[in-house]
A and B are shown apart, each in its own frame.
Chain A
């Protein structure tokens, strides 16, 4: 573990999570969730969990984002809060 890298990645993760929760445009929210997933993936490489990391990159950042984008495009894009 490199603790400086750890700290930077944890900060980016929290920033992406806050943005995904607070932004009104749902497509932006989904893209921020995807970025959150990517930083989580880098965090796991940094912690030595490479199997979790590539599963996260394929499944978390890939499949989940595709499913969310399809649902957002088929329904409303704007959120009330």
Chain B
């Protein structure tokens, strides 16, 4: 069943594109600024999903050396038995950076709301035009 195996491998890729489009729609099509931020979060996590999916393998375990392999002086590592830890570690950095971006954006939203009293984009542009 090579066809089914190939199809199973594509689920994550299709979902990553779908999630990315949902996030992109929220960022461009919605007028509420909090909604735009929610869309940005979904967009970020879709990209993280794509990169982590690159490291996944069938019939592989988490990247920690099994104790049974360590009987001799050096552990006999079989790379096909472990998922690839490099994309996962890179995406850890991306998650932390994403939370920092979200925090700064939310602080900016609070300042905008204090000054203009709204978070809707069209009303906001009108009030900016009126008050300068």
Contact = CB atoms under 8 A, between A and B. Distances in A.
Q: Is chain A's binding surface mostly helix, strand, loop or mixed? A: helix
A30 interface: yes
A14 B15 contact: yes
Q: Is chain B's binding surface mostly helix, strand, loop or mixed? A: helix
A47 B92 contact: no
A48 B71 CA distance: 24
Interface residues of A, number: 43
Interface string A10-43: 1001100110110000100110010011001001
A67 B96 CA distance: 14
Interface residues of B, number: 50
Given A26-B32, A40-B45, A47-B52, A71 B38 contact: no
Contact of B18 (A14, A52, A60, A80): A14
A64 B101 CA distance: 10
A35 to B, nearest CB: 12
A81 B96 CA distance: 30
14 contacts: A7-B11, A13-B15, A21-B22, A37-B45, A40-B49, A47-B56, A48-B57, A48-B62, A49-B55, A50-B62, A51-B89, A55-B96, A68-B106, A75-B109
Interface of A: 1, 3, 6-7, 10, 13-14, 17-18, 20-21, 26, 29-30, 33, 36-37, 40, 43-44, 47-52, 55-56, 59-60, 63-64, 67-68, 70-72, 74-76, 79-81
